[in-house]
Amino acid sequence: MAFAAAPLIQVVLYGNPKFLFLRSTARCTVHASRRPPPPGPGVDTRIHWENEDEGWIGATNTKHQQTHKPNNNMLRADDFPDFLTASLGSHYEFLGVSPDADVEEIKVAYRKLSKEYHPDTTSLPLKTASEKFMKLREVYNVLSNEESRKFYDWTLAQEAASRHAEKMKMKLEDPRQQQLKNWEPVPDMVDRLGGK
């Protein structure tokens, strides 16, 4: 009695072919891959945000894009306003004034923002408005007092100098790594004599 050859099923999973023997008369080949097929030409696969600024990493504001690059490692007195401007989330940015603004400019900015953020006169949610108004009062109390403003400016300058020093520190290499890069092998006696 002669037996017919068993049907062969070839299954390819992740590039590895697998052969299965079955007792039926069907013959089948299955191919599978790790990647789904590319979308058709009419399918939009981009992410759409309701707010155009949502989903972006980093700021588009030109103030944030300006970076301070001193020529030497020493901090100079004329770099001080640049450090104040470069600090993120400063009281000056919250008020919308420059770091060298006088007390009158700070008062004008405070009055304008107090009308905008006061919980009784704003269209913002009550919790958000009260938080912003409390921050506005804190900012005004710091910047309107000459002594507290000097201390705040000094603190901002220290933070900016610390960030700058940290960047410089990251650029420096480990001395051992530098030695490995500059290492040259010294030929031994066999090499000097040409292998003789």
Buried b (16+ CB within 10 A) or exposed e, 128-141: ebeebbeebeebbe
Question: Would you place residue 10 in the very low, low, confident or very high pLDDT band (cuts 50, 70, 90)?
Answer: low
Could you give the CA distance from residue 128 to residue 116 in angstroms, rounded to a whole number? Answer: 12
Q: Which domains does the chain have, with CATH numbers?
A: 7-34 (no CATH), 72-174 (1.10.287.110)
Percent of the chain predicted with pLDDT > 70: 50
Give tens-digit pLDDT for 88-103: 578 888 888 988 889 9
The order of strands in the sheet holding 8-13 is 16-21, 8-13, 28-32
Question: Would you place residue 178 in the very low, low, confident or very high pLDDT band (cuts 50, 70, 90)?
Answer: confident
